[in-house]
Each structure stands twice: as structure tokens, then as C-alpha cells.
Amino acid sequence: MSFPIQECSARRQQLMTAMGEGVAIIPTAPEVVRNRDSHYPYRFDSYFYYLTGFTEPEALLMLIAGKTPKSILFCRDKNKEREIWDGFRYGAEAAKTEFGFDETYTIDQLDVVVPKLLGNQPKLHFSLGADTQWDTKVINWLSGLREQGRMGISTPDEMADVRKLVDELRLVKTPYELGLMQRSADIAAGAHLRAMQKVKVGKMENEIEAEFLHEFYRKGAQAPAYTSIVAGGKNACTLHYNANNCLLNDGDLLLIDAGCELDGYASDITRTFPVNGQFTAAQKDIYELVLAAQVAAIDKVNPKNHWNAPHEAALQVLVQGFIDAGLCQGTVDEVLENGSYRQFYMHRTGHWLGLDVHDAGEYKNKAGDWRMLQAGNVLTVEPGCYIRPADNVPEHFWNIGIRIEDDVAVTKTGCEVLTKAAPKTVVEIEACMADVRSG
């Protein structure tokens, strides 16, 4: 992974300006044991990575704001023996020059160096409650400082959640980040196209999941951005289905929610298509409805609208469609008011996207209003419709589950759909599945 160091040092400068004064402590994520002495693949903390570009575990960033701002990294030292077993590590000396820090220390110097830097500072910017082990460490450093009160050393008067300041930065992507997110989106879109072309009646869901992993890794992504949902038939009506272990049947739809992570940045795409390459009339009716809702929602993605406008637009279209299909009764306003649409559409229409698949950042401003969309925001637009068998539902709709999800960047004048390369209309999907139909 290679982040331009200017990008990260500019972010640190921005953060220190926003802090005004005091010190920030931002640790990376711990390694997590999967079983006995085997670990899950390591994933750095997104806040730490955003500010450093540094991907090794056992690291911490400290920022000192004020007249002479300073950024300091603590990281693992070089270790010939460990590097034979586990691979390369930068070590404190190389990390300083390679990543552009003012000072670096080895992680085992933490308890000596941090209290010195923390003493006599007016404010501590730390995300209390995010990780109890770090909470304990910080509390111990502060108690140590308190004991030095008679020597004229004071503890910070104030504490603030540093993540809130970083969230505001993370919400507005730089051109560099948008470029990466486009590449992440392109890889995932290619994988969805591949899935449409590789699917066959009688294959297993996990065979199709494997096509995604193949395409993600082959194209340079480091990981799936989240556990892929590969849900045939009724499984699509389970929102977080990820067993991915069922047979794909003739006449069923296949809903796939899968995206990759490229240099830390997620893509998040859902496509729904017929296993045999051809929609039935009922499937097509619901699909066209969800697509119309998505088109209406994407149309609202621009800086003149607030966060919730796309969701509201999608709901209007879906609810009208549910009434027309006999799934809901009453007028659009009545159905919105009584919430009966939630039997078929029970989630919201999107979320911020970035380093985290459900990315950082508030959805409302301090006054409690939806925040206005802003150029550089990236969000998903993902309406759906999930119809479980029920007495109040015509049988030809039973077990149809459809979601259509794209990643959308807000521009100065409108928006850019990053994931448009993944086939989406009925015509596009059936055309790219022509070979599947002919066997």
C-alpha cells in the first residue's frame, strides 16, 4: 500500500488546526486472534490510517497542536528474528522519513514518552470508550501525571473526542481519495459482471462468492470490504444473509451485495439478477420498481439537497409501487404515515462510504437537521424490496428479494455514479447473461 505522504501530512495539519491546542492520541487497531495463535487478517484502524498511511499493527499517532505543531509516530522497531517469521516492518527510523513524521519512537517507549508530552497540555483529544485497553492506558498516564502535580506538572483541563474532528475531514474526499474509490468501484463492478456471466442453475452460492474473491484479488484489491452476501431465492429476504451455502435454482433471483477494499477504501455494490438469465414477469415488475426508486434517489444527490432527500424520493416511488401492486393499501401519504411499507422495505436508502463501508461522519448537524450534501461526499444509494410469504401478499411475489446499490460521489453540480460499470437495467442484465441462457 502506498499513500502519498503529502496527503496524510496535509490531513494531520488540518486536524491540528481544527484541534487548536492540546495533544491528540490516536492508536491503531489491535491484532485479533481467530483461533489459538492464528490471527484474522490484520486491518488497521481507519482513523489512524487516514492520518498516517501506516498499516502495521502496534502503532500510535500523537499530534501536538499549537504554535509548533508536531506529529509523532510510535511503531514496532526493526526485529530480524520477527521479520523472518512475520515479514517486513519499517522500524522507527525508516518510518520517520518514509511517512514524514517529525519524531518517531518505538512502541515500547510509549509509557515513558507519552506522559512527558501530555504534561502541561491544555486539552487531550482522545476517543474515550472506543477501546477499553487504550482507555486504561490513557487513564494510567493521566494518574501518573497527577502524582507529579507538586512538581508543577498539570493534567489537561479538557478532553474531547478526536474522532469527531476527523469525521468532518473524512466526510469530504480529496481528489486522491475519489480516484482510489473509483478504482475500488471499478474492481467490484467487474466482479459483479463476472458473476452474471459465471452463474448457472445448479451452482452453489459460494461458487459465485469465489468468483468475487478471484476478481478482487486478481485486480489488486487487498480484501473484500465486508462479508459478501450471495443470496439465491428466498435467502435474499434475509438482509444480512451470508451463509452463502445454498443451491441456485432455476427461476430464482440471485441478490449479491459485494464490494472490495483497495488501499483501505471500500466499494459497496448490490446487483440482483435471474439465475437462469431471464426475469419472470413478477420479478421484472418488482425489479423495475426498485430501479425507478433508485433512479429517483440518485437524482436527488446534489449539493442543493440534504442527506435524507434521496431516501425520501426512493420511498415515494416504492410506496406508490407497493400500492399499485396490491402490497399496501391506502394513499402514499397514509402508507408513509402508518409505516405499512416497512413489511417490504425496512432499511434506509444509503450510508456514507469511504475507509469504512459504513463510513464515519454525522448525518445530522448540531441543530438536529439533516446535513446538506457537499461536493466530495460519497454515499451509497440502495433501495430494495423484500417480500416474504404472507397472507396479505399475492403468491406470485413470494420470496422475491431485490436490492440495487450504487456508490455515488457528490460533485459541485450534481453527482457521479462510481459503480455505473456494473450492468443494472433489465436489458443490460439480460444482454450480458445471453450466454448463461444458451447454456
Positions marked catalytic? 37, 240, 257, 268, 347, 351, 358, 382, 386, 403, 405
Q: Rule CB under 6 A: is residue 209 a binding residue for ligand GLY?
A: no
Say which entry of Mn ion, ligand GLY, none residue 407 contacts (CB below 5 to 8 A, set by partner kind): none
The bridge status of strand 260-262 relative to strand 265-266 is antiparallel
Kindly identify the residues of this chain, within the stretch 267-286, that bind ligand GLY according to CB under 6 A. 268
Site string (394-413) toward Mn ion, x via CB under 5 A: -----------x--------
Q: Rule CB under 5 A: is residue 268 a binding residue for Mn ion?
A: yes
Task: Classify 53 in phi/psi space as left (phi over 0), alpha (psi -120 to 50) or beta.
Answer: left
Sign of CA dihedral 219, 223, 225, 226: positive
Q: Between 61 and 353, whose beta carbon lies closer to ligand GLY?
A: 353
Q: Rule CB under 5 A: is residue 276 a binding residue for Mn ion?
A: no
Q: Rule CB under 5 A: is residue 77 a binding residue for Mn ion?
A: no
Say which entry of ligand GLY, Mn ion, none residue 226 contacts (CB below 5 to 8 A, set by partner kind): ligand GLY
Minimal distance, residue 256 CB to ligand GLY, in Å = 10
Give whole-number Cα distances, 233 to 128, 227, 253, 326, 388, in Å: 44, 19, 5, 22, 11
Give whole-number Cα distances, 343 to 234, 308, 387, 388, in Å: 15, 21, 8, 9
Q: Segment near Mn ion (CB under 5 A), from 84-92, 112-120, 267-275, 301-309?
A: 267-275
Q: Segment near Mn ion (CB under 5 A), from 31-39, 167-175, 256-264, 283-291?
A: 256-264
Please count the other Cβ atoms lying within 10 Å of the Cβ belonging to residue 249. 14
Cell of 179: 480516484
Phi, psi of 92 (to 5 degrees): -60, -40
Q: Between 233 and 350, whose beta carbon lies closer to ligand GLY?
A: 350
The residue within the footprint of ligand GLY, chosen from 226, 302, 332, 426 (CB under 6 A), is 226
Q: Are 433 and 197 in contact (CB under 8 A)?
A: yes
Query: How distant is the alpha carbon of residue 150 from its chain centre?
Result: 48
Number of residues engaging Mn ion in binding (CB under 5 A): 4
Q: Between 27 and 224, whose beta carbon lies closer to ligand GLY?
A: 224
Q: Rule CB under 6 A: is residue 257 a binding residue for ligand GLY?
A: yes
Instruction: Classify residue 339 by burial, with Cβ atoms within 10 Å: 0-12, 13-18, 19+.
Output: exposed
* H/E stretch holding 178: helix 175-198
Site string (351-390) toward Mn ion, x via CB under 5 A: -----------------------------x----------
The residue within the footprint of Mn ion, chosen from 77, 252, 257, 263 (CB under 5 A), is 257
Task: Return the CA Rg of the chain.
Answer: 25
Question: Which positions ≥6 away from 81 have C-beta within 8 Å?
Answer: none
3-state secondary structure of 232: strand
Q: Between 45 and 407, whose beta carbon lies closer to ligand GLY?
A: 407
Give whole-number Cα distances, 143 to 103, 115, 136, 149, 160, in Å: 25, 10, 10, 10, 18
**What CA–CA distance (Å, rounded) separates 138 from 143?**
9
Q: Segment near Mn ion (CB under 5 A), from 85-93, 120-128, 254-262, 331-339?
A: 254-262
Minimal distance, residue 296 CB to Mn ion, in Å = 18
Q: Rule CB under 6 A: is residue 357 a binding residue for ligand GLY?
A: yes
Minimal distance, residue 229 CB to ligand GLY, in Å = 7
**What CA–CA distance (Å, rounded) separates 18 from 167?**
12
Q: Rule CB under 6 A: is residue 382 a binding residue for ligand GLY?
A: yes
Say which entry of ligand GLY, Mn ion, none residue 294 contacts (CB below 5 to 8 A, set by partner kind): none
Minimal distance, residue 353 CB to Mn ion, in Å = 7
Query: How distant is the alpha carbon of residue 7 from its chain centre?
Result: 20
Minimal distance, residue 219 CB to Mn ion, in Å = 19
* H/E stretch holding 209: helix 205-218
Say which entry of Mn ion, ligand GLY, none residue 12 contacts (CB below 5 to 8 A, set by partner kind): none
Q: Rule CB under 6 A: is residue 406 a binding residue for ligand GLY?
A: no
Q: Are 429 and 202 in contact (CB under 8 A)?
A: no
Minimal distance, residue 258 CB to Mn ion, in Å = 8
Cell of 362: 454525522
Minimal distance, residue 268 CB to Mn ion, in Å = 4
Q: Please name which of 349, 363, 352, 283 lies closest in space to residue 318, comparing C-alpha atoms.
A: 349
Q: Are 131 and 45 in contact (CB under 8 A)?
A: no
Minimal distance, residue 288 CB to Mn ion, in Å = 21
**Which stretches of the chain bind Mn ion, using CB under 5 A?**
257, 268, 380, 405
Contact positions vs ligand GLY (CB under 6 A): 226, 257, 268, 351, 357, 382, 405
